[in-house]
Amino acid sequence: MAPETTATPTRVEGSARPTPPADVQQARALFDQFVVVPTKAMFEPTLPPRDTYTVNNYNVPVEGGEILVRCLVPVVENKDETFPVFVYIHGGGMCVGGVELDDYPLRCWCVRNKLSVVIVDYRLAPEYPFPIPVDDCHAALKWTVSNTSLLKADLSKGFIVGGHSSGGNLSAALAHIVRDDPFFEGRRLTGQFLREAGICHHDAYPDKYKPKFQSMEENKDQLPVTKEKLEHVYKWYNAPPSDPRFSPLLISSHEGLPRAYIAAAGLDVLRDDSVVYAEVLREAGVDVKFDLYPDATHGFHFDSPTISRDAEEGLRWLLNLTS
């Protein structure tokens, strides 16, 4: 059985985490109790055998500290075989959650699709407000392309960034950042995986698209993520609504972005972020696969293995493994 290992951390000055306020601690405890634990319990029976993949944690230096990345790599008979890589950014409003949230389903995807996975444990607001989570995830992407040997990765086979909810927001912003960053010349992203992503702050909707953004009011009281709750975590994150690193819809050009898989829930306050963004990307010449689930609420994939399988098919589409 391949062991789970943790790399010896290289501590960076100033890496001690501030103590979060009591209400943040409570939010994180509740999120772990009612989201993380049930999700792991749901997917635990489906986990592949432990000798079919490895799990390693690495500490990545970032500005002012360090972050953890958890790397899942398939174990195959041909030890020289290489794999595409999926850099996954967890949800939780940039304030709660962590690498454990989607760890188990990602282990399944890793083995079934012969895919190396890097799960990013970016630092959370309000202790680390905007743009620190964006910068942390950018650093994780740079670490990934600089450590392909650790991951047995071949970026030409696929280099995807993605996540759920706030992880989708960060991924959409990073797709633009990587497109324009010379560091990634010759090793650009090939896909973006955006599930229930926030794409534009509701106080910064462009006039051109305002009539199409109806879900924020239509679903404002729909649990589990109401408009009031969303505004609360946005205050913790403290990003200017019109900053394109938080509202990537506002970036002047979406041309040259990698193909995108986008999934949306019909009863979600963020539904129309996905609807509009799919339209905008297509207008910019980006290939888009879009799934909408009319009767689902935010976070629906935690309760629906069927829809989770659809998301895996979206990932396979990004990898050119399906039509």
pLDDT per residue as tens digits for the range 54-97: 999 999 999 999 999 999 999 999 999 999 999 999 999 999 99
The 10s digit of each residue's pLDDT in 149-198 is: 999 999 999 999 999 999 999 999 999 999 999 999 999 999 999 999 99
| Active site (catalytic) residues | 165, 268, 298
Domains of the chain, residue spans:
20-318
* DSSP-derived secondary structure letter, 223: S
- Domain 20-318 indexed as CATH 1.10.3720.10: no
Question: Could you tell me which of 257, 86, 105, 215 has the C-alpha nearest to residue 157?
Answer: 86
Strand partners, 5: 56
CA-derived radius of gyration, the chain: 18
**Contact partners, residue 199, CB within 8 Å, separation at least 6:** 169, 172, 247, 248, 249, 270, 273, 274, 276, 277
Q: Is the dihedral of CA 120, 205, 289, 251 positive or negative?
A: negative
Average pLDDT value for the chain: 92
Q: How many helices (H) and strands (E) does the chain have?
A: 10, 9
pLDDT score recorded for residue 289: 98
